[in-house]
Amino acid sequence: MKRKRQSKEEIAHALRRVEWGEKAVEVCRAMGVSEANFVARKAPMPGCAAKRGTK
pLDDT tens-place string over residues 10-36: 888 888 898 899 998 999 899 888 888
Rg (CA), the chain: 11
Give the whole-number percent of the chain exceeding pLDDT 70: 69
Is pTM, for the whole model, over 0.75?
no
Q: What pLDDT is attached to residue 15?
A: 86
d(CA 55, CA 20) in angstroms, rounded, equals 26
Q: What is the pLDDT of residue 49?
A: 53
To 10 degrees, what angle do helices 35-42 and 8-19 make?
A: 100
Which tops the pLDDT comparison, 8 or 30? 30
